[in-house]
Structure 1
Amino acid sequence: MTLNRRDFVTRSAATAAGAALAGGAALAAAPSAAAAQPDAAAAKGQQRKPRTQAFTVMGTTDLHGRVLNWDYFTDAEYTDKAHNAVGLAKISTLANQVREEKGWDRCLLIDSGDTIQGTQLSYYYARIESIDTEANTVPDHPMAVAMNLMEYDAAALGNHEFNYGIPLLKAYEEQLEFPLLGANALNAKNEKPAFKPYVIKELRLGGGRPVRVGILGLTNPGIAIWDKANVSGKMVFPGIVETAATWVPKMKAAGADVIVVSAHSGCDEATTWGDQLPWAENVSVALAETVPDIDAVLVGHAHKEVPQRLVVNKKTGRTVVLSEPLCYGQRLTCFDFEVEFTGGAWKVASVSSRLLNSNTVPENPEITDAIAGQHKKVVAYVNQNIGTSKIALSIADAPFKATPIIDLIGRVQADAVKAALAGGQYANLPVLAQAAPFNRTALIPSGQVKLRDAAGLYIYENTLEARILTGAQLKDYLEYSVKYYNQLAPGAPVDKDKLTGAEATPDYNYDSLYGLSYDIDIAQPKGSRIVNLSFQGKPIDPAAEFVLAVNNYRANGGGNFPHVAKAKMVWSNSDEIRNTMIAWVKAKGVIDPADFFTDSWRLVRAGQPVF
């Protein structure tokens, strides 16, 4: 980063956004973790007034491949009920506005991970025209292009950075003009960091030496489960709090006056992997409470909006400021610091955090122009025709009743596994399939079906596996899945908005099983809800063996479903389920629910249907 570059950047977009800061008033400043005892000179009675200066650390998280305010699944500008906007092009405008107000050399910009997965734009440059290539010409990754132009200073690794494998991640890292940080992303052989643990940035604020801002990056230990196939035997991911306790003192010893942690870990939400790992998933609050000398934590991973949360460190009694900007570039966090140069050192006097809303500003044309060609290429890719559908298939009701669109996923997966096992020792076992409602806005239209329609239905880069489970184990699996529903007594009014999400269970952790029939009695407590469980019209045999077609996230323990992670694997595929679906539709030509919809489960109360 140079002064010349900062002076050169087009400032028109930032100037046009004058109203944005007005919408994000700073919250009350919190006492800093770095606030120290009165300096030695003052203690001796000297009255020299400390020199006070200010700077701002801006942060994003969970961008998930969003550069433009565009939805590649609908082929239209992004929109939602809250009128949010997404993408780095808008964040760039906000960031430049903050720089204009505070001073370009008094600002840092960091990210908390999950940048290169989530849209067809990022997918295209991972799988279609991959940046991980031996060709003479290597394409630029659009996220790298945008973040380099925006002059990011550092970014932590997220768990989705590993979805495409370590080689592609390293290829992405090579394109960045700032460090990817991961103090707890270690080489398996020697347990040394595979990525830079931290970086210290110097800001010249005037008076005294530069203030040294240390940025520590920490990623999520769940990578060992969620991306097991990509990292097993290659990398390990120890706990966030434990790792920070090692590295924060090293950063202080290296001269950091201020320490900001960029942690791909929610504040204190429940852990989704049970006891499969000895570390928790969402520990940013525990981090702030436990490890001394941290001033602020940029929180990620949970996809929540946290303007400011104050946490008192249990060892020092000092306050740490946490903030999580809403995912996809919908918000920008600003940590506003005041520091004093006293006793020959910079010490934090106060820090507060606030959020800026990207829907208040236009996109920065510098960013939109830079990836215009890539955007056009991806739009053409997702608009390929792959087949037709006899009727429109919506996922909107999938959490509440059996729907053809979820059975389509199940049928595609079951067909793929049956074909793979044909002629082998497991060919005679019945094949079932799990599926979950990943995207509540997914829709396959009547008539022409495009690639983006299938991609919008299966938004994750999951691959397919086949595991053997017994009838008894499948019932356990379903009982665990339907904890998703809140208990509702017979006759009580039904509110769909309050019916699902019990125990903070997200939609992607609610599975139905294609090939089985059953009722879910939501009047019963969890663990006793599956009734009338049958296979091919007969009660399921608890001892019978079945092949379950299951995505790799679930098979590796994601969601902590019982039995499946330890079940015998009889087949696996390295290609994404999304591509299997696209190929299935191309081969069939026509999507006809009469070919696959089984209407095999329903919600009941005391035997009476809820819907």
Structure 2
Amino acid sequence: MSIDRRTFINRSAATSAGVALAGAAGTAAAEPAQAQERGHQPKRASLRVLGTTDVHGHVLNWDYFTDKEYDDKDHNDVGLAKIATLVEQARAEKGHHRTLLIDAGDIIQGTQLSYYYARVEPITGRHDKHAPKHPMALAMNHMRYDAAALGNHEFNYGIPVLRAFQAQCDFPLLAANALDAKTLKPAFPPYVVKHIRVPGAPDVKVGVLGLTNPGIAIWDKGNVHGKMTFPGLVEQAKIYVPKLRSLGCDVVICTDHSGLDGSTSYGDALPYPENASSLVAEQVPGIDAILVGHTHVERPCTIVANAQTGKKVVLSEPLMWGMRLSVFDLDLQLRHGRWEVVSVTAEVRNANTVPEDPQVAKLVRAEHQRVVAYVNQVIGTCKEAMSAAQAPYRDTPIIDFINFVQAATVKEALAKTAYASLPVLSQAACFSRSASIPAGKVSLRDVAGLYVYENTLDARVLTGAQVKDYLEWSARYFVQTPVGAPVDVAKLTNANSTPDYNYDVLGGGLTYDIDVSQPAGSRIVKLAFQGKPIDPKAQFVLAVNNYRANGGGNFPHVASAKSVWSDSDEIRNTIIAWVKANKTIDPAVFASGGWRLTRAGVPLF
């Protein structure tokens, strides 16, 4: 058997009948079929599909914010160099000629390595033989990826950077639900079809359908509005899965940058769910397996029955950043001249069990060293060490610093406008509990580690009443804890799986208590501005990141509020520029102690 790596799009054949699969844990399997012809056993074939997702710019097992090898409490390793070793092992087991490698998106954002080639030395800057190559393209091309779905973070740097990355890839970037806003035609290839050669039998035709996240329309509105539109995953899969079957595909694999559980972080701002992979499996007949992405969780194997056919669809999501590799194994049987899938299994493999592939590491060594030098440049000093370790449950100077810089930036921008007299509040969240700024010399990586996302700054007008609603929504993050009950900080936060980045602290002269003994929606007490109870009718300007301003997290009022200013530069760069200009970070200037957790008026800490 061998794989013809060319895209197959022109030939077609009759759609095969669906196979009723009966699933067990980790496996979906069918009863053995009768022999095709009397006295002859049917032909068998097998193939393997390997999958990664949410690699987020990790090639090497390196943390550019700490300037050392990556490690966490579970001793995970990260990066495509590690994954490449797992991939080669998996290919050797099954046969290179019958193994495909795909990705489910969020490739080019997340580390300073990927940021550098989007903003500092951008891949869009030159068009000659010496133009910089994106490290992710270098690694993925070497690893011989067959396809990758687009993730929402692919759009963070704008469409020109994404198109430049696309041009550097030797494999297609797929997105059946990324459409040109004017023509409503696909802006990227919806699918690719691969041939697997079977000696003495027809090729096995494998269709790979790529689906991205509708939330892009909200989260990266500034980059895509009027250019692209993003319908739902189920809606587009219903168009393209039958098309792939009509093209003669024996196997249909989806690679979805969308989680499993049907949840949505943007409320009713869009008619399409954010995490729709299980819905795709349930509502769209004809799919054999789905590589799941977006939610940064490890789900080795989930089985969902299709509501129409009863067929069991196998889904797998490997852990993010190249920590895990999903492995799908499919067995097929030749019936009446067509291949049919009779079993699918899925598992994940751990990148910390293998060494880095030396060839991948060598490919990106020069780029890596350039970025290490860039992030280690000293840009200022700090009078006291600051840490985000307690930021999710205590007011900490390191988060106050973000709010201080954001508010100062907006105040300066509005100084000569009709909004100059309005007080400026600011919103910030703890993106990384390991973020810290040392006492003494401060490097660029120290400051960049405070803000790991490519968010930009916006300014929206809210009333005092709306500010309170906003804070109530944010305070849902805490687990309700009755008076007298023991307090365990490890169990106090992330209620209903709310991530840290969806817990906002508001600064800029506000003070307030969060009473965690009360139910969500009734927790904000003693809300004051500059020492006086806040006036529900008073107007404020909120310095807010574009993710939140565009509806991310479904916070009330802000997405519909009037925007009075916005910036195209990343907030990270704004903070770095502030440190370079002011030279010294002094927590005494901005540490506010503006909020605290209480129960019936008694502080928890």
TM-score by length of 1: 0.94
Is 1:30 aligned with 2:21? no
Please give the per-residue CA displacement for 1:536-591, whole angstroms capped at 9, x wherever unaligned. Answer: 11000111111100000000010010000011111000000000000111111111
| Residue 87 (structure 1) aligned to one of 79, 86, 94 | 79
Q: Report whether the alignment pairs 1:352 with 2:350.
A: no
Given that 1:188 and 1:234 are in contact with CA atoms closer than 8 Å, whether structure 2 keeps it comes out as yes
Residue 258 of structure 1: aligned partner: 251
Report if the CA contact (8 A) 1:533-1:540 is conserved. yes
Q: What pairs up with 1:14-413 in 2 under 5 angstroms?
A: 28-31=26-29, 42=36, 46-136=38-128, 137-268=130-261, 270-413=263-406
Shift of 1:48: 2.1
Letter of the 1:462 counterpart? N
Deviation per CA, 1:480-518: give whole Å up to 9, x if none: 100101111011000112111112211101001002100
Partner residue, 1:540? 534
Asked whether the equivalents of residues 3 and 195 of structure 2 are also in contact (C-alpha less than 8 Å), the reply is no
Once residues 575 and 288 of structure 1 are traced to their aligned partners in structure 2, the CA distance between those partners, rounded to angstroms, is 39
Q: For 1:274 and 1:48, how far apart are their aligned partners in 2?
A: 57
Matches within 5 A, 1:437-456: 437-456=430-449
- 1:115-155 CA distance string (max 9 Å, x none): 00000000000000001124534210000000000000000
**1:477-492 equivalence runs, <5 A:** 477-492=470-485
Going from structure 1 to structure 2, the CA distance change for 1:28 and 1:474 (only over 3 Å counts) comes to: closer
1:13 aligned partner: none
Contact 1:51/1:207, CA 8 A, preserved across alignment: no
Whether the 8 Å CA contact 1:106–1:205 is kept in 2: the answer is no
| Maintained 8 Å contact 2:283/2:308 | yes
1:430-441 alignment to 2 at 5 Å?
A: 430-441=423-434
SS in 2 for 1:477: helix
Asked if 1:601 corresponds to 2:595, the answer is yes
User: Separation in 1 of the partners of 2:461 and 2:139?
Assistant: 45
Residue in 2 that maps onto 1:17: none
Offset of 1:401 from its aligned partner? Answer: 1.1
**Alpha-carbon separation, structure 2, partners of 1:472 and 1:272:** 23
1:582 match = 576
- Unaligned runs of 5+ residues in structure 2 are 6-23
Measure the CA separation in 1 of the matches of 2:49 and 2:225: 35
Q: Which runs of 5+ in 1 are unaligned?
A: 6-25
Give CA-to-partner distance per residue, 1:380-437, whole Å, 9 cap, x none: 0000101111111000111111100000000000010011111211111111100000
Secondary structure of 1:582's counterpart equals helix
1:101 & 1:548 partners in 2: Cα distance?
Answer: 56
Pairing 1:495-510 to 2, within 5 Å after superposition: 495-510=488-503
DSSP-derived class of the 1:292 partner: coil
Question: What residue is the counterpart of 2:454 in the other structure?
Answer: 461
Give CA-to-partner distance per residue, 1:296-333, whole Å, 9 cap, x none. Answer: 00000010101101111110011100000000000000
C-alpha separation in 2, matches of 1:169 and 1:544: 42
1:10 — aligned with what?
none
Partners of 1:60 and 1:143 in 2: CA distance: 13
Distance between the aligned counterparts of 1:27 and 1:477, measured in 2?
43
Letter of the 2:353 partner, please give it. T
Which residue of structure 2 lines up, in the alignment, with residue 563 of structure 1? 557
Structure 2 Cα separation of the partners of residues 61 and 207 of structure 1: 35
Aligned-residue RMSD, C-alpha: 1.6
**Amino acid aligned to 1:148:** N
What is the one-letter code of the residue matched to 1:102? K
Q: Secondary structure at the match of 2:28?
A: coil
Q: Distance in 2 between matches of 1:207 and 1:286?
A: 38
Deviation at 1:3, TM superposition (A): 8.4
Q: What residue in structure 1 maps to residue 521 of structure 2?
A: 527
Question: Contact between 1:484 and 1:502, CA under 8 Å: does it hold in 2?
Answer: yes
Q: Deviations over 1:429-462 (max 9, x none)?
A: 1111000001111011111110001111100000
Question: How many aligned residue pairs are there?
Answer: 584
Superimposed CA distance per residue, residues 72-116 of structure 1 (whole angstroms, 9 cap, x where no aligned partner): 000000000101000000100000011111111010000000000
Task: Assess if the C-alpha contact under 8 Å between 1:216 and 1:260 holds in 2.
Answer: yes
Rounded to whole Å, the distance in 1 between the matches of 2:361 and 2:262 is 35
Counterpart of 1:423, as a letter, is K
Q: How far 1:349 moved relative to its partner?
A: 1.4
CA distance in structure 2 between the aligned counterparts of 1:560 and 1:370, rounded to whole angstroms: 41
Identity of aligned residues (%): 62
Hey, what's the Cα distance between the residues in 1 that align with 2:564 and 2:595? Answer: 27
Give the counterpart letter for 2:53 in structure 1: T
Q: Which amino acid aligns with 2:241?
A: V
- Give 1:550's match in structure 2, choosing from 523, 544, 553: 544
The Cα shift of 1:343 comes to 1.1
Deviation per residue, 1:40-92 (Å, 9 max, x gap): x84xx724211112210000000000000000000000000101000000100
Using the alignment, how far apart are the partners of 2:77 and 2:121 within structure 1? 27
- Aligned counterparts of 1:110 and 1:313: Cα–Cα separation in 2: 23
Whole-Å separation in 1 of the counterparts to 2:4 and 2:566: 52
Which sits farther off after the overlay, 206-215 or 234-243?
Answer: 206-215
User: Is 1:423–2:421 an aligned residue pair?
Assistant: no
Taking the aligned partners of 1:564 and 1:77, their CA distance within structure 2 comes to: 39
8 Å CA contact retained: 2:53, 2:322 = yes
**1:135 and 1:149 mapped to 2: Cα distance?**
22
1:269 Cα shift? Answer: 5.2
Distance 1:179 1:269 in 2: 27
- Cα deviation 1:180-201 (Å, max 9, x = unaligned): 0000000000111000000010
Do the aligned residues in 1 keep the contact of 2:44 with 2:332 (CA within 8 Å)?
yes
SS for the counterpart of 2:253 is: strand
Q: What is the deviation of 1:170?
A: 0.5
Cα distance in 2, alignment partners of residues 410 and 238 from structure 1: 35
Query: Does the residue aligned with 2:309 lie in a helix, a strand or coil?
Result: coil
In structure 1, distance between residues paired with 2:263 and 2:473? 16
Once the two structures are TM-superposed, the CA of residue 255 in structure 1 deviates from its matched residue by 1.2
SS of 1:173 mapped into structure 2: helix
How many Å separate the matches in 1 of 2:495 and 2:209?
A: 34
Q: CA deviation at 1:4?
A: 12
* Cα distance in 1 for residues equivalent to 2:470 and 2:266: 15
Which residue of structure 1 lines up, in the alignment, with residue 586 of structure 2?
592
**Shift in Å, 1:520:** 0.4
**Runs of at least 4 residues off by over 3 Å:** 2-5, 134-137
Quote the Cα distance in structure 2 between the aligned partners of 1:28 and 1:425.
62
Give the 3-state SS of the residue equivalent to 1:327 in structure 2: coil
Cα distance, 1:28 vs structure 2:
4.5
